[in-house]
Structures are given as C-alpha cells and as structure tokens.
C-alpha cells in the first residue's frame, strides 16, 4: 500500500482519532471565543447604530426631516463615527455623507440591516474601500433615513482574531500529527523489536530474544515475558529433541546387537551348526529386550519433557507401599534375602499411583538384583522431620561408591560389577524422573552396614514433598 | 472362535489373522472403522480386535457406536497409545481390554481367549470348579480333592483369575494387570515367584500338576 509504515500503525490511527476529538473540542472552544470577542464587537457596533437611529428618530418626531438633517450635519461636525443619509419620501436625497442607500429603497420593511462598503480618501489621495454596516429606517413621514458606521477597524480586529483562531487550529493539527507520528514511530520501534524476535523464532531461531533496555515500561514487561516464554519453549523443545536423540541412540545398540545375532545365527544355521528354533527364540528374547528398553526410555523422556507427572491424586502411600512389598516379598525370599518393611501410616502424598508404584518396584528390583543371597532388603515409608515423605529401599549389597552415585542415576550407566546382570540401566533413571515429575528427588547413600562379608549396601530414598 | 480384526495396517492385520487362524479361530479382517462397524453389526463374532487409530472412523468411535446400538461383543483395543489416560479412554468407550503396540503375539492370543470366555461366565457364580479344584467365593475357601488349601488374599485372587480362565493361557502381564493392577513391566520375575508359590500350594502332594507353564506365553490352569 502507498502509505508509509508509520501511518498504517494502530498508534497513528489512535493519534488521528484523538486529534479529531481534540480538534472538535478546540473548534468549539475557538467558536466560543469568536462569539465572545469578534461577535461582541459587531454587536456593540450594531447597538450604537440602533441607538443613533433611535436618537434621530426622536428628533424627527419633534422637528421632522429638517431637524434630522440639522442633527446629522451637527453630529457629523463633532466627529461622530456614523455615516448618514436622509432621503425624502420620493427617494430624493436630502442630505448625507454617503451617496446612496446601500439597500434598495423599494424594500417595504421598516428596518433593514445591511453590510456595505464605503470608499474613504486617504491622505495621499487614493481611495480605500472599508467595510461598513448600517440600518435603514423608514420614518413616519415616508422619508428614508440611513445610519451606518465604518466598521473597518472592528473588522480588522475581528479578522485578527479569526486569523489567530485559524492559526491556533492549524498549529493544533500540525502538533497533533507530528506528535502522533513521533509516538507511532516510538511504539513501532518497540513493537518492531518484538516482531523481529517473533519473526526470527518463526524462522527457526529459538535463540532470538528481545533486547531489554531496562526502561521498566510495559513494552519492557512484554519483552521480558516473551523472553521467559521463549526460554521455557526452548527448554521444552530441547528436552524433546534430546529425548528423541536419546531414544534413537539408545535403541541403536540393542538393535545392532539383535541384527548381528540374527546374522550370525543364519550363518550358523546354514552351516548346520545351530538349531533354527533356538536362534528364533534368542531373537525373540532380544526383541523383547529392545521393546523393554524402548518403553523405559519413552517413559523417562515423557516424564522429563512433561515436567510433571499426569493424573496426580492425593492419597496415603502406606497401602501402595504395602502392595508393592507384598509383590516383592516372595521374590526376596526366593533369592535367599531377608525382606522387611516399615510403613508409617497416616501420611499423605500427591502423586500418580502408577508411576509411584513403578518407582518403588524399580527400587526393589534393583535391590534384589544386586544383593547376594544371605543379605537383607528393607522397604521403609516414613515422614521426615522436614515434613517430606520418604520412600527408601535399603540393601546389603556392594553399594555404589560415593563418586559414582550421581552417574548411576543417568540413563544407561551400568557399573562394572553389574555388567553381567540383566537390565539396561534404566531403573534408577526412571525413579529419578518420577521423583522430579512429582517435585521430589532421589537420594543415594551408603547402606546401614555389612552383613557378614557383604556391604556396605545402598540406601536409595525417593523423597516427595509434603501435601497441603 | 469367531474373531473380527479391525486394523488399517494391511500387513499387521494379515499377520494377526494368520496367527489367530493358526490358533484355530475363524477370522475376518476389516480395513477401517466404517467397514468394521458394518461387519461387526452383522453379528456372530466372539471377540472384536480393534485398532484405535484408523482412517474414516477411529476405533473409539466405532466401538462407541456399537455399544450404543446394544452390541455387547467383547472388544480388545490395540493401540500405540499406551498412557494410562489412553487406556482409560479406551475402556470408557466400551473396550473390555487394552493391548499396547507393539505386543507379543502370545499376549494377543491369551487376551482374546480370555475375552471370549467372559460371556459364558456372565452368570454370578458363588463357586468355581476346575477339575478337583474348588473355590468357594463367599466363604473364601479353596479345596482340592476335598482337602482345604490355605491361601493368602493375593494368592486367592491369583487363583480365582486362573480358575475363571481355566484351560486358557494367561500371560504374566495379564496377571500383573488384573490381579495387582499394575501396568508396568518389572525386571525381576515377580509373577513367576508368586505362581510357583501358588503351585506349591495347590499341586504339592497331588500326582497331577494343574498349574502349567506355557512356554513363551505364561501359565494355564488345566483340569
């Protein structure tokens, strides 16, 4: 479109609207001023003319046209500002200072007002035409009397006022337009900054941020809000991308393993060295392993990306823990482990039951997996003095060296001494993700001590914030 | 058993149909929800296996429509959507069971079998009987060959589920879901341990083992 960008801005349109309102108000105000000044001057002039007409009419009542003539002559000589003309009933001029009545004589109305021009000789001999105004009156005897006044000075005065009013008006409009353009430019610049950032982000640059000047105004606030939003988005997108990359990466090795095994099995079967059915069973088991890994990675990634576990409800965790304990107790006994549980009642947590159950199951799975026969596993649910609810699983296995504790919470980290055991190294990371998705945390500590030659054991605590 | 598979992935549908026919069922395959609805309304199926996401009409809508029309044929939903809320939506729409893709074929067969049996046990029974094993659901007493067997509450639930599905394979996942109501996969063989405990209680001292392990699938209680 033809208009420059500034004129198309909303701010400029708003300025125009305000300007129009302002101009209307100004016009009303100036009109009032005009009425009270220039208008008043004209009215005063009219009044003096009317008065003079009345005076002369009174003189006529007493002495007729002749007396009026005398009065006119007399009044002219004492430098009255009036212009006179007296005509007899037949329209002949009796006396006057102007050549003719500026209104038609045939007009039957008694009193007629009119504007007219008079030529006045200047001292240098030239003539000047000046505006005048007068009243014609038909006298009782049919004579026509005209009294006018040179309103040149008044008109000039009124003109000055009118010019001042126009000037003021034009100034208001110009200032308004100029101010509007200036404000619009300013606003446009601020919004332009925001738009540039939005454009950059749309274009794929998640790093673009609004430059903040520290002005503390609403644009600053908007920009800062936009920046915060972009930070969150970037973080979320980052987590998702990371999750995607991780899944791709994490599945590559087990899939490669599966493929290699199938290939080797095929070669062996072809060479008659292997049983096809055994190879298929092995392949199925491998595929199941890949699927388990995939499910676990997906759960962790989803929890991490969502930032908060879905479907959280408030409940007493005692029953949930008792159920998980009931599920695992026979497994412990089966593995020659002593199992005990200490579950405090009357606690409250707000959590997703399924995830919390799975987290506890993972902790018990781990404890059972890494504790040699003859050891002990304990599940405890209690309230900490801080008010937080702690779910802990303690074992008497080899434990995790202090400098490794942070590592084992990361995905796919498996310590050297666990390499020969099943698992993908996703148990603890999932528990950590569950803890975080509930606003809690995972703590790893040394266990309570040794049982015989075993220990010092591991104590893993899932700590959830208090409810209410 | 007559099964209708409603699955838009032709290859997956065909493989499923082949597998189920192999297992002795009569299988019809519909490629989308609209077709599936038409075939299902014609009736005569024991179980419907319905994919959730399909062109034309998704599985949820299809099953909702069926249920609205009064059809009570058991439905097993198949879906790549495995979150808890997806499961809940599926069951609310009228599904009877929910299987998350990808799944083991043994799991599918076991669940389809379990669903097909559901109808026959519709009457409220107070006693379950499988061979010489007898379960009194009200007195909560289990006897085999007249000899009372002492079971823990969870073992009782486990046996009840197995008895209700006697002769059918049930998988570890099914047991975990139906008896413990957990929808995750423990790394250790928890279910095996519980089963072996139950087995020692109901089979020990008898010359015939009723609780059998089905290779690659799970377990089966045989009369």
Q: What is the CATH number of the domain that holds A350?
A: 3.30.565.10
Pairing of strands A441-446, A458-464: antiparallel
Do A282 and A361 share a structural domain? Answer: no
Beta strands in A151-265 (DSSP E): none
The verdict on a CB contact (< 8 Å) between B187 and A311 is no
Cis peptide before A456 (omega within 30 of 0): yes
Domain co-membership, A317 together with A459 = yes
Same domain, A340 and A451: yes
Residue A35 included in any domain: yes
Q: Of residues A22 and A453, which shows the higher confidence score? A: A22
Among all chains, which residue has been given the structure tokens 């520290």? A214
**CB spacing of A311 vs B85 below 8 angstroms:** yes
Question: What is the phi/psi pair of residue B102, to 5°?
Answer: -80, 150
Distances (CA, A) of A310 to A239, A305, A433: 17, 12, 13
Q: Is the CB of A357 less than 8 angstroms away from the CB of B197?
A: no
Same domain, A297 and A330: no
Nearest CA-CA partner of B166 in B195, B200, B133, B205: B133
**Whose CA is closest to B92, among B122, B63, B50, B121?**
B63
> Residue A119: pLDDT above 90?
no
Q: Is A410:A429 a contact under the CB 8 Å cutoff?
A: yes
DSSP code at position A449: -
Which residues of chain B are within 8 Å of residue A334 when distances are taken between CB atoms?
Answer: 193, 196
DSSP track, chain B = -EEEEE-S-HHHHHHHHHHHHHTT-EEEEESSHHHHHHHHHH---SEEEEESS-SSS-HHHHHHHHHHTT----EEEEES--SHHHHHHHHHTT-SEEEESS--HHHHHHHHHHHHHHTGGGS--SEEEETTEEEETTTTEEEETTEEE---HHHHHHHHHHHHTTTSEEEHHHHHHHTS---S--SS-HHHHHHHHHHHHHHTTSSS--EEEETTTEEEE--
What pLDDT sits at residue A420? 47
pLDDT band at A390 (very low <50, low <70, confident <90, very high): very high
Residues A322 and A278 in one domain: no
Do residue A354 and residue B154 have CB atoms under 8 angstroms apart? no
Q: Is the pLDDT of residue A249 over 80?
A: no
Q: What is the rounded average pLDDT of the residues B82-86? A: 73
Which domain, by its residues, includes A263? 233-306
Looking at domain B127-221, does it have CATH number 1.10.10.10?
yes
CATH of the domain at A102: 3.30.450
A318 shares a domain with A296: no
A342 domain residue, yes or no: yes
Q: Is the pLDDT score of A201 beyond 50?
A: yes
| Residue pLDDT, tens place only, B169-218 | 999 999 999 999 998 888 778 999 999 999 999 998 888 899 999 987 89
User: What's the average model confidence in pLDDT over A69-81?
Assistant: 81
Residues A327 and A449 in one domain: yes
Our CA-based measurement puts residue B182 at a distance from the nearest CA of chain A, in whole angstroms, of 7
- One domain, residues A330 and A411: yes
In a domain, A164, yes or no: no
* Residues 13-52, chain B, touching A (beta carbon < 8 A): none
Residues A450 and A336 reside in one and the same domain: yes
Look at chain A and report how many structural domains it folds into: 3
Where do the structural domains in chain B lie, given as residue ranges?
Answer: 2-121, 127-221
Q: End of a domain among A306, A338, A365?
A: A306
Would the pTM of this model clear 0.95, i.e. be above it?
Answer: no
pLDDT per residue over B19-52, tens digit each? 999 988 999 999 999 999 999 999 889 999 999 9
At A308 the pLDDT is: 84
Closest residue on chain B to A354 (Cα): B182
Share of chain A above pLDDT 90, in %: 19
Are A290 and A324 in the same domain?
no
- Which range is least confidently modeled, A451-460, B109-118, B146-155, B181-190? A451-460
**A-B contacts at Cβ under 8 angstroms:** 54
| Contact residues, A window 277-336, toward B, CB-based 8 Å cutoff | 281, 284, 288, 291-292, 295, 302, 310-311, 323, 326-328, 330-331, 334
**In sequence order, which residues have a C-beta less than 8 Å from that of residue A184 and are 6 or more positions away?**
A6, A7, A9, A11, A12, A15
Superfamily of domain B2-121: Response regulator (3.40.50.2300)
Q: Which of B184, B188, B216 sits opposite A358 (nearest CB)?
A: B184
- Residue A174 to residue A23: CA distance in whole angstroms: 11
Cβ distance B112 to B73 under 8 Å?
A: no
Are residues A432 and A330 located together in one domain of the fold?
yes
Q: Cα torsion for A105, A109, A113, A114, to the nearest 10°?
A: -40
Query: Which among A107, A125, A157 is the end of a domain?
Result: A157
Residue A198 within a domain:
no
Using a CB-CB distance cutoff of 8 angstroms, which residues of chain A are in contact with residue B188?
328, 331, 365, 368-369
Measured between CA atoms, how close is B189 to chain A, in angstroms?
8
* Residue where a domain stops, chosen among A306, A321, A351: A306
- Is A104 at the interface with chain B, CB within 8 A? no
Q: A319 with A341: CB under 8 angstroms?
A: no
Domain of A241, CATH number, reads 1.10.287
Q: Does A354 contact B216 at a Cβ distance shorter than 8 Å?
A: no
A118 and A237 share one domain: no
DSSP-derived letter for residue A288 is: H
- Asked, for residue A199, whether it belongs to a domain, the answer is no
Sign of CA dihedral A306, A312, A316, A320: negative
Give the Cα-Cα-Cα angle A119, A124, A125 (nearest 5 degrees): 45
């Amino acid at each position: 479109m033809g208009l420059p960008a500034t004129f198309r801005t909303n701010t400029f349109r708003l300025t125009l609207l305000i300007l129009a309102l302002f101009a209307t108000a100004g016009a009303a105000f100036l009109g009032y001023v005009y009425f009270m000044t220039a208008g008043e001057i004209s009215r005063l002039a009219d009044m003096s003319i009317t008065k003079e007409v009345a005076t002369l009419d009174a003189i006529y009542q007493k002495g007729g046209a002749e007396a009026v003539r005398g009065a006119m002559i007399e009044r002219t000589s004492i430098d009255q500002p009036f212009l006179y003309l007296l005509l007899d009933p037949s329209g002949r001029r009796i006396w006057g200072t102007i050549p003719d009545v500026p209104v038609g004589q045939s007009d039957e109305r008694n009193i007629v007002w009119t504007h007219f021009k008079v030529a006045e000789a200047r001292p240098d001999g030239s003539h000047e035409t000046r505006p005048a105004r007068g009243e014609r009156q038909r006298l009782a005897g049919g004579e026509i009397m005209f009294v006018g006044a040179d309103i040149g000075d008044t008109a000039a005065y009124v003109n000055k006022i009118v010019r001042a009013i126009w000037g003021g008006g034009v100034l208001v409009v110009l200032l308004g337009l100029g101010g509007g353009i200036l404000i619009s430019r300013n606003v446009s610049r601020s919004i332009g900054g925001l738009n540039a950032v939005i454009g950059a982000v749309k274009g794929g640059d998640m790093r673009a941020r609004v430059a903040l000047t520290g002005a503390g105004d609403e644009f600053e606030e908007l920009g800062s809000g936009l920046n915060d939003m972009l930070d969150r988005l970037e973080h979320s997108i980052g987590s998702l991308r990371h999750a995607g990359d991780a899944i791709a990466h994490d599945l590559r090795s087990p899939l490669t393993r599966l493929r290699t095994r199938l290939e080797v099995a095929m070669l062996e079967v072809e060479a008659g060295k292997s049983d096809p059915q055994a190879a298929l069973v092995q392949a199925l088991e491998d595929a199941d392993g890949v699927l388990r890994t995939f499910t676990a990675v997906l759960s962790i990634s989803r929890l991490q990306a969502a930032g908060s576990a879905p479907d959280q409800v408030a409940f007493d965790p005692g029953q949930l823990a008792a159920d998980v304990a009931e599920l695992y107790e026979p497994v412990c006994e089966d593995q020659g482990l002593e199992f005990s549980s200490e579950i405090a009642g009357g606690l409250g947590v707000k959590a997703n039951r399924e995830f919390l159950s799975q987290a506890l199951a993972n902790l018990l799975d781990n404890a059972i997996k890494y504790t040699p026969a003859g050891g002990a596993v304990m599940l405890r649910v209690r309230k900490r003095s801080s008010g937080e609810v702690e779910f802990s699983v303690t074992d008497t296995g080899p434990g995790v060296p202090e400098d490794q504790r942070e590592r084992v919470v990361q995905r796919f980290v498996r310590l050297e001494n666990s390499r020969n055991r099943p698992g993908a190294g996703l148990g603890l990371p999932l528990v950590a993700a569950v803890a975080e998705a509930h606003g809690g945390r995972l703590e790893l500590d040394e266990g309570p001590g040794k049982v015989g030659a075993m220990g010092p054991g591991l104590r893993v605590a899932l700590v959830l914030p208090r409810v209410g | 058993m007559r099964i209708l598979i409603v699955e838009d992935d032709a290859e997956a549908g065909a493989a499923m149909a082949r597998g189920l026919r192999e297992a002795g069922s009569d299988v019809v395959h519909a490629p989308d929800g609209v077709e599936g609805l038409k075939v299902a309304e014609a009736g005569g199926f024991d179980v419907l296996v319905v994919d959730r996401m399909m062109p034309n009409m998704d599985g949820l809508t299809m099953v909702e429509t069926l249920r609205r029309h009064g059809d009570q044929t058991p439905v097993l939903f198949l879906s790549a959507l495995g979150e808890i809320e997806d499961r809940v939506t599926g069951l609310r729409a009228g599904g009877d069971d929910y299987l998350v893709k990808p799944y083991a074929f043994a799991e599918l067969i076991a669940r389809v079998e379990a669903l097909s049996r559901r109808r026959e046990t519709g009457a409220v029974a107070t006693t379950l009987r499988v061979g010489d094993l007898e379960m009194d659901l009200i007195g909560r007493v289990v006897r085999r060959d007249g000899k009372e067997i002492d079971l823990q509450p969870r073992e009782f639930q486990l046996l009840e589920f197995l008895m209700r599905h006697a002769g059918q394979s049930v998988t570890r996942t099914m047991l975990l879901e139906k008896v413990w109501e957990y929808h995750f996969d423990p790394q250790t063989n928890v279910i095996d341990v519980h089963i072996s405990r139950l087995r020692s209680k109901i089979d020990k001292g008898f010359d015939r083992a009723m609780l059998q392990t089905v290779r690659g699938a799970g377990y089966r209680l045989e009369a």
